[in-house]
Amino acid sequence: MAAQGRTAGRARGGGRRAAGVVLAALLCATACTAPAVDVPDTAAADIRATLDRRAAAVLHHDPDAYLAVVDPDATALRTAQRKELGHLADMPIGSWTYRLTDVSPHGADRATADVRLGYRLKGYDSAPVSVDRVLDLERDPADGRWYITADRAAEGGGRQLWQQGDVEVVHGTHSLVLGVGRSRDELTRIAATADRAVPAVSDAWPERWAGRVVVLVPDSVQDMAELLGSPAANYRGIAAVTTGETGGRGTAPADRVIVNPQAYAMLGTFGQRIVLTHETAHVATRTSTSAATPTWLSEGFADWAAYRYGDRTAAEVAPELTDAVRRGELPAALPTGEDFGFAGDPDRLARAYEGGWLACELIADQWGEEKLIAFYRAVGGHSGRDGAVEQAMHEVLDTTPQDFTARWRDYVRDLLR
């Protein structure tokens, strides 16, 4: 699973350009049935019934029913839960389910449950986003029912957008933008940019994909980090990331493009279009991207799709790599996964993105765009990373990694010197 990102950067003729990230994202869930739990009494079945009632209350937007499964004495939790349900009011929720994955009893009347929430946005998600939660519950001896006393993210998980505030919803032609704490005008402009990105990506990636994108716009970089379950320092300067599960399983879990509003706002119109087109390309190529896909290819292709019909020169698109080449520092090899680490040197990061973009430009230029797409699919379809690039280069491009690298170095030097 991966989350790929695009930083606020020097997009052809714009300000500084940096990089993206690889993070854990979200798994697909089904319904609240047949969990892999083994509890010697009826606790699991009764807890499952509590969760089913809660899911139905969300779908019917019934605050009383939603709070009916929360412990009456958990005053703070009940207040927070009422607010959360209200924040969901405008979201087009098509399904909402809970799957019980584990139960740890604490005596006869208390338990901790690991739960996988799965939700789908109507008209946008072909498969659900899933979120792992941990619930504490107590059983009321009077009626035998279990009531929630605490609800928290699982270890390594983050908060959800609706937990950060009231969700503003903007429907675009090809996009759905969900924001918290941002003006409707800003969200509408982001939707318009996303609406331009979707057909541009469909033109660059003619394979079948959903042809729509969901964009989340939290109020700050801190809120963005909370959504991703990581420190805010990881995302300062990063304009957007895309979360989703890689791999070609018939139905891929839903992707989310998450925008850092401060970094995104620093970009001009052109830079914002490049960022959202780049992220949308990750959504489109998700099912053809796998653990076998090197970062230079996934990020390079996303940049290739974003810059495909631009009028900037290679030197304008790749300023850091241009500076390096003109200093006599021609890269010896294609960027490695480590080169894309955002915690290090930002210039190295920028050169990695620029090098990946030029590698995809080289394939499209000298082999053709159809070959670039076929190469991307062939690499992602390999059973593992070992040998994936080598085999795809042999079968699709009739070359070797050594020959390709030499041609790439010549291409970089000729374009940027």
pLDDT tens-digit readout, 19-49? 333 222 322 322 333 444 444 458 899 999 9
- Decide the pairing of beta strands 93-105 and 2-6: unpaired
Strand partners, 120: 95
Q: Cβ distance 237 to 343 under 8 Å?
A: no
- Looking at residue 27, its pLDDT comes to 25
Q: What percent of the chain has pLDDT over 70?
A: 87
The whole-angstrom separation of Cα 48 and Cα 32 is 7
The CATH class of the 2-24+164-416 domain is: mainly alpha
For residues 166 and 247, give the distance between their C-alpha atoms in angstroms, rounded to a whole number: 33
Contact of 213 with 283, CB cutoff 8 Å: yes
| 46 neighbors 264 (Cβ within 8 angstroms) | no
Q: What is the mean pLDDT of the chain?
A: 88
* The pLDDT of residue 20: 36
Identify the burial level of 65 via C-beta atoms within 10 angstroms of its C-beta, where 0-12 means exposed, 13-18 middle and 19 or more buried: middle
The answer to whether 347 touches 327, Cβ cutoff 8 Å, is no
Cα 169 to Cα 23, 70, 194, 269: the distances in Å are 26, 28, 14, 22
| CATH of region 43-155 | 3.10.450.50
Q: Identify the DSSP state of 70.
A: B
Reported as a single tens digit per residue, the pLDDT across 278-322 is 999 999 999 999 999 999 999 999 999 999 988 899 999 999 999
Residue 186 has pLDDT above 80, yes or no: yes
What's the rounded Cα separation, in Å, for the pair 408 and 300? 13
Regarding predicted confidence, which is higher, 67 or 4?
A: 67
- Whether residue 343 is predicted with pLDDT greater than 80 in this model: the reply is no
pLDDT the model gives residue 11: 42
Do 2-24+164-416 and 43-155 share a fold? no
- pLDDT of 402 above 60: yes
- The pLDDT value given to residue 36: 44
Q: What is the pLDDT of residue 200?
A: 97
Domains of the chain, residue spans: 2-24+164-416, 43-155
pLDDT recorded at residue 342 = 65
Name the least confident of 9-13, 196-200, 395-399: 9-13
Q: Render pLDDT for 242-292 as a digit per residue (tens, 0 to 9).
A: 987 655 444 456 789 999 999 999 999 999 999 999 999 999 999 999 999
